[in-house]
Copies of this chain bind each other. A is one copy, B any other.
Amino acid sequence: MSQLSASALSFTNPSTPPSTGLTLTKFHLDKPGSGEVQVAFLYAPINPLDLLVVSGKYPVKPRHTVPGTPAPSYVPGYDGVARVIAIGEDISPSAFHEGDLVIPAGLGLGTWRSHANVPASSLLNLTSGLPSSDVPARSDVLAFSILRTVFVTAYLLLEHSRESLKPGDWIILNAATGAIASAVVQLATLRGIQSICVIRDRPDPASNQAAIDELKRYGAHTVLTESELEESAAGIQGKRIVLALDAVFGASAERLAATLAPGGTLVNYGTLGGGGPAASMRLTSRVLFWNQITVRAFRGSTYLAQRTEEEARDMVVWLAGLVVQQRLRMPSVQLVRWGNADKDGVRRAEDRPVGHAKLVWEFEWFEQLK
């Protein structure tokens, strides 16, 4: 059997900024070994987590290396979607077929490469989980590449507070044009939960209006800029807000906390406002004690770990089904063609101002998916 020409971005030692330590390596891929599946990646996002991993600031290392390099070359990229192109021995014939769409089953798979032979157990087969009538469109496949980091995270952010969330309830979110927040708005809408979206103030009224229109299409009830929320409570008047999802921290988190109804919860899942670990929010006794609110942090992996492997898989497949049925729409991303841009894509992600669309590697496309 002829060998496959493949390429991967990889790093041997952590580096800051991440792009400086990455190399594009071309290599030949043998046929898959026993228990392995050969895949061709279709899309893989460049996530903030990946940048942390390459710069050595995240305590989990990639589990895969580029074959045939003198020093171990770790392949970053924990998220993405691939197509099965060959199947090794000792794989159950019902588990994988050529053409199946797969995503990583866990952290560390290494998706920043064109092709790979990986253990079958490290893949989650979306095709076998979807009803056979559901043929994914190309835009659905793109959405699958962010199932884990965006849709699963959004789902867990809502689910994590499920005891208090009932149809008709109100939630409030900041950084609402972000991929996770817009997925939260859509999932909340599906559950009958009404959302108030807070977006940063844009200098340009047209781009402001575009963001508002987009969020309303996702089902947002009210969209306010940070300064509109600060200046007036008119947009939230009379609404019993039980959950605030905060990706900004600092003053923006304080504004969200102040809108909560008694007994409400503020969940922090990011510090887009800057300041890193030293960033802080001020919690007054009026908000915390009088209103009896709870403030907690969210890390998706903690909540995923509370599920069995089967439960996690069922959740991912269910979310994939919502995408194919057009009940969940893909947030805006920007595609970077693999091979042309290689590590320039990473450099662009590093310099990306907060609130801009996520970058996603686009690999070779297969016209016939099924």
**Residues of A participating in the B interface, judged by any CB pair closer than 8 Å:** 249, 268, 271, 275-286, 288-297, 299, 302
- Is A249 in contact with B285, judged by CB distance below 8 angstroms? yes
Interface of A is mostly: mixed
CB-defined contacts of A294 to chain B, threshold 8 Å: 294-297
Cross-interface CB contact of A279 among B276, B277, B281, B285, cutoff 8 Å: B285
Determine how many copies of this chain the complex contains. 2
List 10 A-B pairs, minimum CB-CB distance, nearest first.
A277-B286, A294-B296, A295-B295, A280-B284, A279-B285, A289-B297, A280-B282, A292-B297, A271-B285, A288-B297
CA distance in complex: A286, B289 (Å): 22
In the assembled complex, 22 residue pairs joining A and B whose CB atoms fall closer than 8 Å, in A order, are A249-B285, A268-B289, A276-B285, A277-B289, A278-B284, A279-B284, A280-B282, A280-B285, A281-B282, A282-B282, A282-B283, A283-B295, A288-B295, A288-B296, A288-B297, A289-B297, A292-B296, A292-B297, A293-B296, A294-B297, A295-B295, A295-B296
- Is B297 in contact with A268, judged by CB distance below 8 angstroms? no
CB-defined contacts of A295 to chain B, threshold 8 Å: 283, 288, 294-296
CB-defined contacts of A284 to chain B, threshold 8 Å: 277-280
Q: Which of A276, A284, A293 has the most CB of B within 10 A?
A: A284
- Is A297 in contact with B293, judged by CB distance below 8 angstroms? yes
- Is B280 in contact with A283, judged by CB distance below 8 angstroms? yes
**Nearest-neighbor residue (CB-CB) of A289 within chain B:** B297
Closest chain B CB from A272 CB (angstroms): 11
CA distance in complex: A288, B290 (Å): 21
CA distance in complex: A290, B268 (Å): 11
With A280-B283, A283-B280: A289-B302 Cβ-Cβ less than 8 Å: no
**Nearest-neighbor residue (CB-CB) of A294 within chain B:** B296
